[in-house]
Amino acid sequence: MPDSVATTDLAYDVERVRADFPILSRTVHDRKGKPGKPLVYLDSAASAQKPRQVIQAISRFLEEDYANIHRGVHFLSQTATDQFEAGRAKVATFLNAPSERSIVFTRSATEAINLVAASYGRTFLSEGDEVILSVMEHHANIVPWQLLQAEKKIVLKVVPVDDDGVLDLDAYRDLLSERTKLVAITHCSNVLGTVTPARVIAALAHERGIPVLFDGSQAVVHGPVDVQDIDADFYVFTAHKLYGPTGLGVLYGKYDLLKTMPPYQGGGDMIESVSFAGTTFKAPPSRFEAGTPPITEVIALAAAIDYVESIGREAIAAHEHDLLQYATQQLSQVDGLRIIGTAPGKGPIVSFALDGVHPHDVGTIVDQYGVAVRVGRHCAEPLADRFEVGPTIRASFALYNTRAEVDALVASVLAVKEFFGA
C-alpha cells in the first residue's frame, strides 16, 4: 500500500458495513464443481445494493402493517399512512428542507425532472425562453427539456466543462440572460464525478430571479446535502442509488414555487373534489401525487436514510474519498489507461478508457474475475462526445467497497491488457 495515500479512518469498519449487505457475500460465475469468484461490486452509481435493514423494513411492513394509505378509516390504513408520512418527514430532514410539504414522491429522479418540465415548464415558459443545462447532464436532465423544447420552442443553452471536467462558471455566467427562465444542472456527474458549486450556481441565477433545479441523484449518496444552504428551488434524487428501493424518486421544491404549479398527472388522491363540472386540486405535495404512491418504497427509503445516518454521512464521504484516491493512484499506473474526469473534490466515480481495447471487452473480461463495472456512455452521450471518447468503463465506489476491491479491479484490468497484448 503506497505511503502517500492516507489509510482509511480506523473508526470506519468496512467489514462490519459489508456484513449488512447479504448480496456482497455471494460469488458469481459459479460452475459445476468450480467455485465462482467473489463479487466485486463497483457499479453502485447505476444502482446501489441494499442493506439487511432496508430489506427487513420492506418485509416487516408487508407482513405487519400493509394497506393503502390516506383514504382509509380502518386501523391498518391509518398505521400505513402514519409510516408513509413519517417517511416524508425523514426525507425532509435528510435534505434539511424547511417542511415536509416541500417533499413530493415520484417514481424516479427521471419522473421528478419530467414533473418540473411538464408542470413548471409548460406553465411558465414560452417561445424563445431559455433553459440552461450543462454538458455533463444525465439524459434524465436533458430529454425532458428537449420534449418541452419541441412543444414550446424554448431554447436550451449548455454550460461546458474544461478538460478536467470542471464546470465553466464564467461560461455559465455569460449564458444567464433576460431570456433565462430556468437552470437545471447536476450536483454531481454520474460519469466524471464532478461536484458542481451548487451555492454559486444558485446565487448567480437568483441575482436575476431565475429558479434552479439540481439533479442530486449522485450527490445525496456521497455527502451531506442541505437544500436551504444551497438555496435550491428544486432538488431531485432517486432512492435506489441511496441503498433504497427502485420505483421511488424525490422532488424537493420550495413550497411557494410548488403552489404556483398545476398538477402533472390527474387521478385519485390529488383532488379536493371531482365533478364533471370541474375538479379542484389539493395543495402540494398531494397535488403531484396522483394515484396510489409507492408506499412500501417510501418506508424502505426511510430505513435506508436511517442506515446511512447510523454510519454517518461525513464518515461515508471520508471512506469513499479514500477509495477514490487509492483507485485513481493505482489505475494511473496502468499504461495506456486514461481517466476521464479529474475535477478537484470529485465524487467516488472513476471513468476510464484503455488504449487499444474496446470498453465492452474490458467490461466482459473483468466480469470473469467477478468485477462488476459499467460500460457505455452512462446515459450522458453529449459528455462522451465532449471528451471524444465514446463508451468508457466506469467504476463507482460506495460505502461498502474496500481497497482490496480496488486491487481486484486493477489486477483484472492488467489481465485484459495481457490478453490483448495492449
Ligand X SMILES: *Cc1c(COP(=O)(O)O)cnc(C)c1O
Contact residues for ligand X (CB under 6 A)?
108-110, 138, 140-141, 186, 190, 215, 217-218, 238, 240-241, 249
Under 8 Å between Cβ of 215 and 113: yes
CA–CA separation, 69 vs 48, rounded Å? 28
Query: At closest approach, how far in Å is the CB of 377 from ligand X?
Result: 13
Query: At closest approach, how far in Å is the CB of 184 from ligand X?
Result: 11
Query: At closest approach, how far in Å is the CB of 113 from ligand X?
Result: 7
Query: At closest approach, how far in Å is the CB of 193 from ligand X?
Result: 11
Residues 6+ apart with CB under 8 A from 385: none
CA–CA separation, 224 vs 173, rounded Å? 26
Taking the least distance from each CB to ligand X, the nearer of 220 and 416 is 220
Taking the least distance from each CB to ligand X, the nearer of 330 and 392 is 392
Beta sheet of 130-134, edge-to-edge order? 103-106, 249-253, 234-238, 212-215, 180-186, 130-134, 155-159
Query: At closest approach, how far in Å is the CB of 187 from ligand X?
Result: 8
Cell of 250: 424525490
Backbone angles phi, psi at 34, to 5 degrees: -130, 115
Closest to 351 measured CA to CA, from 369, 327, 368, 371: 327
Taking the least distance from each CB to ligand X, the nearer of 238 and 401 is 238
Taking the least distance from each CB to ligand X, the nearer of 143 and 415 is 143
Under 8 Å between Cβ of 162 and 123: no
Taking the least distance from each CB to ligand X, the nearer of 205 and 380 is 380
**DSSP symbols for 97-139:** -S-GGGEEEESSHHHHHHHIIIIIIHHH--TT-EEEEETT--G
CA–CA separation, 16 vs 20, rounded Å? 7
Query: At closest approach, how far in Å is the CB of 241 from ligand X?
Result: 6
Catalytic: 379?
yes
Spot the catalytic one: 379, 395, 399, 410: 379
**Within a 13 Å sphere around the CA of 5, how many CA atoms are in the beta-carbon half?**
18
CA–CA separation, 372 vs 389, rounded Å? 21
Taking the least distance from each CB to ligand X, the nearer of 235 and 369 is 235
Taking the alpha carbons at both ends of the chain, their separation in whole angstroms is 26
Catalytic center residues: 379
